Structure 1
Amino acid sequence: MRVDWRDWLSRLARLWRGSLRVRTVAITVALSTVAITIIGAYISTSVSSNLFDQRLLQVKTEASKATMSAQQVFTQAEDLNGTVDLEGVEDSATNAIRATVSSAPLIAILRVPGQTGASLMENRANEGFDAGTMLSSQLASTVQNGGRDQLSWQSISIARGSSGQSDPGIIVGSLLEVPAAGEYQLYLVYNLKDVQQTLDFVQRTLVLGGLALVLLIGAVAYLIVRLIVGPVRQAAESSEKLAAGQLEERLRERGSDELATLARSFNRMADSLQRQIRQLADLSRLQQRFVSDVSHELRTPLTTIRLAGDVLYDQRASFPPATARTAELLHAQTERFEVLLADLLEMSRYDSGAVQLETDPTNLVRLVEEAIDAVAPLAEEKGTEIRLIAPGGYFEADVDARRIRRILQNLLGNAIDHGEGLPIDVYVDSDADAVAIAVRDHGIGMSESDMERVFDRFWRADPSRQRTTGGTGLGLAISLEDAVVHGGLLDVWSEPGQGSCFRLTLPRQFGAAVMGSPLPLPPEEEAA
């Protein structure tokens, strides 16, 4: 089975970024491990150096005593006739050396090479002493040239038979003067296996103690972080619930420490937010009810005014010019008042959640053609050409045709008002999941600050600008609500001097989610 390291690294990264507890414990354990490792290494080095120095001092002391004892035996060995029993003396010297030392080192007595004119005493060495591996030429030369009062030593490795393993050791050399035989080198080889075992035990103890200490520190850090992060996590979860509308959510207040103070402060904040939200909700309901009631109450007098105005408007030809102009203004403003009242009623329905859609499978290309025909007189008056670009695809969608037609007429009306008489392109495209309609003009365009507020109620990009359609400032706000209630999106793109583009994206199946749009924003323009 192949391990996906990228997936594992991605999970670890998400866990690292998403958990304060994991980060705190991991950092604490890592820093503790580094500190314990440094301290353990220092202690191990100090203990090793101290053990070696003490053992070396002991070895040198014993070697010095052994050299003096052996030299004394050789010096006193000459009899009254001036002859020496070299073999017997060598045995006596070896016994004197063994009696002097406290351990059982390897002993070797070797003749200094290059001597002539003297009697010979055989070289003697314990079994296990290998001059080829234990005795270096550098140490032999140092011993030979150092004189009888100087000790020379060197660290070596002592092989354990044929196992291939070895123990640390020290070899100490000194110079002996043997009567009638010349100069000999005395070597004592000490095995430091016991010192190494002590050092290994200390190092194992340090490692095990360090691991136990790291685990203990990690456990303590986890408990402390849990005590601290737990209430913080509860506060975060309560905040999420408050944000989701569960205004009754509160934290437990226990004790008098900082966490309890945090809980009390959080609960006071939640109480204040709950009161303010309820006040705002009550004010919003009153405002919505006021707008709805006023809109309904104005319909009856507006109908009467409209009927009277129509009578005057129809007879304006028989009136004096000033009176006829007054009748025309009354008729125009009454129509505008009716549009504003209808928009206010529609917004009140959205605010109260009373909007109900009547969806049917609808061909959006035909719906766009109907919307273009509806604004054709206005476009002709402004000298604006409206071009429909529909390359083909899945154009049917489950929509409320009346509301989508209203969106299109709002977008086309705005494009004509701000298009400076330049052509307007209407794009319709689709895929298997969504249908998109884009209305692109080439007029004055908008700034970024204007685009941020373009869907606000009663907002206009330029209130002083003469508008042909005489809008109420609610058209785009209602269009956005119509798009959202279909589960769609209404996006805008604009640049000053380059024009604007509004793109409506709707799911082909009502209730489905819109994952993308078949049209880019703005759509790519075809070459002329």
Structure 2
Amino acid sequence: MLTFTWRSLVQRARRLWRGSLQLRTVAITVLLSTVAVTIISGYMSLSIATNLYEARKNQAIAEARQATVSAQELFDSSVTASGTIDVEAVNRTAQTTIRSVASSPGGTEFAILRTPGQTTEVTMTATQTRALDLSVISDELREQVAQDDGQLYTQAVTLNAASGRPDPGLVVGGVFEVPTAGQYELYLVYNVRDVQQTLDFVQQTLVIGSLLLVGTIGLVTYFVTRLAIGPVRIAAETAEKLAEGELDRRIPEKGEDVIATLARSFNRMADSLQRQITQLATLSRVQQRFVSDVSHELRTPLTTIRLAGDVLYEQRDQFSPTTARTAELLHAQVDRFESMLADLLEMSRYDAGAVDIDAEPTNLVRLVEESLDALRPLADEKGSELRLVAPGGYFEADVDARRIRRILQNLLGNAVDHGEGRPIVVHVDSDATAVAIAVRDYGVGMDAGQLERVFDRFWRADPSRQRTTGGTGLGLAIATEDAQLHGGTLDVWSEPGEGSCFRLTLPRERGATVHHSPVDLPPAEPLEGDLLGADRLAPERDEKNA
């Protein structure tokens, strides 16, 4: 359950990110501003810390140098005319002098240590302040100081403060000579807690200032983008309303800026589209009314012509050969004219929205078998073998058998006309929610341009081709309308030289929605080996559908 919740949150956040230009703009601006402010603040903090440390270091070196010089002068001036010196007394005086010279707000400790490895007449006692821990003076620093090259050496250390929290410290070391006692090292240990406190305050100020700056940038970006994207959002909503058919929707025009110019241009475009759509709709209604009226008006004279033609056709044996042939042509063309008129009437019903289906449970395998039997004489005449592949399943569906039969007759007729005498395979398969019928031929096929127009009204793939089953160009358009009326789909696959396949997919229950098809497009080959040379495949029937 927790995983599902997190997944839902992630998906919701992703949709929000993709759907909100304002959110993306503000987020990217805040992100880039945060990176820039972080880099700038980090550089400033590092620069300030370096400057503070260097300033305190220089101050400590100056104090240490002064203390070393003062101690050296004190010892030098204490030598008597006889060359003797009270080393311990001078040492105590030197400590006082060092304390007066080296002072720090954080406290200064010092140590006077004898340089190891010396042999002298007198030895001065090593001295250190009580609070100093000599462990902070490293051996490396003592080795550097003992070289006595006239320089002072420093080292950053950590001091144990009385509060228990470590404080930053700085050790400065130098040397001086004690007459008759040899070389001694002077180490001054400074507590630079005040520098660290100053640096902490500066860094805290930089962090707070950076957060306030980023927040300000985010707010400014939000209001600016809202001001700029608001009209764009209104334009998008208006465009969606126009796409939904609300042709009177317009964008409010305010001001003289580029947004106002966009609104005026958009409104002019919408006005132009509304006029053109209105004109096209009017012409379409006139055309539909004309086709409907003409189709109805032609039924009466066509009935009369049909009666007269049938009389002449039945008596053609009594006429001369030329007159008999004329009667046969008249009979054939009247049949074609009657079929075309029926198609026109059907299309006019679809255009008027006056079509409904009479659905009932129907076994589609039997319906396919009936259509194959009806078309088999024509297929035998063309040399095409009809095959049925029905592996078994839920073959019953709530459909209008008359309309499905009309779709099959159209698809099978096209397959016979364009199959080039090769086998025609009809696949029927189903699952618990959908049933599909695919008509596969291995004829001339169609290219991409023909596939785009194959379902258009009055369009034929090859107008010059002699057709046996009619050729009004309305069959596939009517088949598409019949399929959609059932809530199904009619799809096509074709390749030049490899044939074509039309697949009808229908929901098993009326009112349901088709989400997939039980039959692939094109279907897999039903037989092993060469399909064109295989024997006829008899349908396999499920016992409950037999």
TM superposition score category, shorter chain reference: over 0.9
Question: Following the alignment from structure 1 to structure 2, what is the Cα–Cα distance between the partners of residues 414 and 450?
Answer: 14
What per-residue deviation string (whole Å, max 9, x for no partner) do you get for residues 498-519 of structure 1? Answer: 2222111111111110111122
Q: Answer with 264-273 or 43-52: which moved more.
A: 264-273
Question: Following the alignment from structure 1 to structure 2, what is the Cα–Cα distance between the partners of residues 323 and 150?
Answer: 135
Question: Following the alignment from structure 2 to structure 1, what is the Cα–Cα distance between the partners of residues 296 and 385?
Answer: 39
* Gap change, CA 1:423 and 1:116, over 3 Å in 2: closer
CA contact (8 A) 2:440 2:500 kept: yes
Listed as ranges, the gaps of 5+ residues in structure 1 are none
Alignment match, 1:125: 128
Q: How does 1:171-250 map to 2 (within 5 A)?
A: 171-250=171-250
CA contact (8 A) 2:26 2:221 kept: yes
What per-residue deviation string (whole Å, max 9, x for no partner) do you get for residues 281-313 of structure 1? Answer: 001001101111111111222222222222222
Alignment match, 1:37: 38
Alignment match, 1:261: 261
Q: How does 1:87-106 map to 2 (within 5 A)?
A: 87-103=88-104, 104-106=107-109
Count of residues in Structure 1 that have an aligned counterpart in Structure 2: 525
Q: Is it true that 1:466 corresponds to 2:474 in the alignment?
A: no
CA contact (8 A) 2:493 2:522 kept: yes
Question: Following the alignment from structure 2 to structure 1, what is the Cα–Cα distance between the partners of residues 486 and 257?
Answer: 52
- Quote how far apart the aligned CAs of 1:179 are: 2.5
CA contact (8 A) 2:422 2:442 kept: yes
Q: How does 1:73-472 map to 2 (within 5 A)?
A: 73-79=74-80, 82-103=83-104, 104-131=107-134, 133-147=135-149, 149-160=150-161, 163=164, 165-472=165-472
What per-residue deviation string (whole Å, max 9, x for no partner) do you get for residues 321-363 of structure 1? Answer: 2222222212211111111111111111111111121222222
Question: Following the alignment from structure 1 to structure 2, what is the Cα–Cα distance between the partners of residues 329 and 144?
Answer: 130
Alignment match, 2:485: 485
CA contact (8 A) 2:424 2:439 kept: yes
- Percentage of identical aligned residues: 65
Q: What SS does the aligned partner of 2:501 have?
A: strand
* Gap change, CA 1:360 and 1:472, over 3 Å in 2: same
CA contact (8 A) 2:429 2:437 kept: yes
What per-residue deviation string (whole Å, max 9, x for no partner) do you get for residues 460-514 of structure 1? Answer: 1111111112321111111111111111111112222222221111111111101
Q: Answer with 62-71 or 510-519: which moved more.
A: 62-71
Question: Following the alignment from structure 1 to structure 2, what is the Cα–Cα distance between the partners of residues 442 and 80?
Answer: 131
Q: What SS does the aligned partner of 1:373 have?
A: helix
Q: What SS does the aligned partner of 2:526 have?
A: coil
Q: Counterpart of 1:201 in structure 2: which amino acid?
A: F
Question: Following the alignment from structure 1 to structure 2, what is the Cα–Cα distance between the partners of residues 422 and 115?
Answer: 117
Q: Counterpart of 1:197 in structure 2: which amino acid?
A: Q
Q: Answer with 207-216 or 341-350: which moved more.
A: 207-216
Question: Following the alignment from structure 1 to structure 2, what is the Cα–Cα distance between the partners of residues 419 and 130?
Answer: 105
What per-residue deviation string (whole Å, max 9, x for no partner) do you get for residues 224-247 of structure 1? Answer: 111222221221122111111111
- Quote how far apart the aligned CAs of 1:6 are: 6.3
Q: How does 1:33-72 map to 2 (within 5 A)?
A: 33-72=34-73
CA contact (8 A) 2:389 2:526 kept: no
CA contact (8 A) 2:460 2:471 kept: no
* Gap change, CA 1:274 and 1:418, over 3 Å in 2: same
What per-residue deviation string (whole Å, max 9, x for no partner) do you get for residues 25-80 of structure 1? Answer: 12111111111111111111111111112112211222222222222221222345
* Gap change, CA 1:47 and 1:320, over 3 Å in 2: same
* Gap change, CA 1:365 and 1:198, over 3 Å in 2: same
Question: Following the alignment from structure 2 to structure 1, what is the Cα–Cα distance between the partners of residues 390 and 144?
Answer: 103
CA contact (8 A) 2:430 2:518 kept: yes
Q: Counterpart of 1:484 in structure 2: which amino acid?
A: Q
Q: TM-score w.r.t. structure 2 length?
A: 0.91
Q: What SS does the aligned partner of 1:146 have?
A: coil
Q: Answer with 288-297 or 449-458: which moved more.
A: 449-458
Question: Following the alignment from structure 1 to structure 2, what is the Cα–Cα distance between the partners of residues 112 and 425?
Answer: 109
Q: Counterpart of 2:408 in structure 1: which amino acid?
A: L
CA contact (8 A) 2:365 2:428 kept: yes
Question: Following the alignment from structure 2 to structure 1, what is the Cα–Cα distance between the partners of residues 182 and 302?
Answer: 142
Q: TM-score w.r.t. structure 1 length?
A: 0.94
Q: Counterpart of 1:33 in structure 2: which amino acid?
A: T
Alignment match, 1:23: 24
Question: Following the alignment from structure 2 to structure 1, what is the Cα–Cα distance between the partners of residues 12 and 220?
Answer: 25
Q: What SS does the aligned partner of 2:210 have?
A: helix
Q: Answer with 291-300 or 418-427: which moved more.
A: 418-427
